[in-house]
Amino acid sequence: GAGVSQTPSNKVTEKGKYVELRCDPISGHTALYWYRQSLGQGPEFLIYFQGTGAADDSGLPNDRFFAVRPEGSVSTLKIQRTERGDSAVYLCASSPGTSGANVLTFGAGSRLTVL
């Protein structure tokens, strides 16, 4: 697509529920990133994919968080047993993935509210 698309744009859930957030990167971009942005803060790195594999998942806060990218395009961030502290905007970004410092193109984000 023309830009990075994220769905849903807003998700309200109850504590303890399971949530999936989807990211559709720019067509042809091999690198995909998930960030989390809490209110009044900058984006915080969660995980980075190069192709289908998670090249760096060191930012995932705990084992309730998991992300996949099975075909090297669309990615899904999965959160189990949600907690109120998971409330944030989850940002997805993609880049061409070539060597050197790529510029990240961000989506509009998925705002998650855990009640």
Partner 1 sequence: AQKVTQAQTEISVVEKEDVTLDCVYETRDTTYYLFWYKQPPSGELVFLIRRNSFDEQNEISGRYSWNFQKSTSSFNFTITASQVVDSAVYFCALSEASYNFNKFYFGSGTKLNVKP
* Interaction site with partner 1 (CB under 8 A): 31, 33, 35, 40-45, 48, 50, 55-56, 58-59, 89, 91, 93, 100-109
Q: Which is nearer to partner 1, 38 or 80 (CB)?
A: 38
Q: Which is nearer to partner 1, 66 or 106 (CB)?
A: 106
Distance CA 20, CA 67 (A): 9
CB of 104 to partner 1, least distance (A): 7
CB of 31 to partner 1, least distance (A): 7
Q: Which is nearer to partner 1, 68 or 108 (CB)?
A: 108
CB of 32 to partner 1, least distance (A): 10
48: its two tokens: 């980075």
Pick from 32, 33, 36, 54: nearest CA to 44: 36
CB of 35 to partner 1, least distance (A): 8
